[in-house]
Amino acid sequence: MGRATSWLTAVMVVVTTSDVLLRYAFNTSFVFVQELEWHFFAVLFLMAAGYTHLKGNHVRVDILYTRLSPRR
């Protein structure tokens, strides 16, 4: 899952960079490219969140976490 997330991140960087170049260098834009960016971001977020949860690396809020008793 981590490897797939890293590859999807690389693809998303290429798509976003090409969209920015098209928009500012050639003064043109495609709606499907912007939609593709949002879809990639949503999938990337869900994959990365699941992987981080699996590895136990989520950031915990210490205000609540330190006051709770350990799990049994």
Res 14: pLDDT: 93
Res 46: pLDDT: 87
Residue-wise burial string across 28-50, b where 16 or more C-beta atoms lie within 10 A, e elsewhere: eeeeeeeebeeebeeebeebbee
pLDDT, tens digit, for every residue of 8-62? 889 999 999 999 999 999 998 889 989 999 999 999 888 888 888 888 877 766 7
Domain locations in the chain as residue ranges: 2-65
pTM (predicted TM-score): 0.65
Q: Are 44 and 8 in contact (CB under 8 A)?
A: yes
Residue 65 pLDDT > 80, yes or no?
A: no
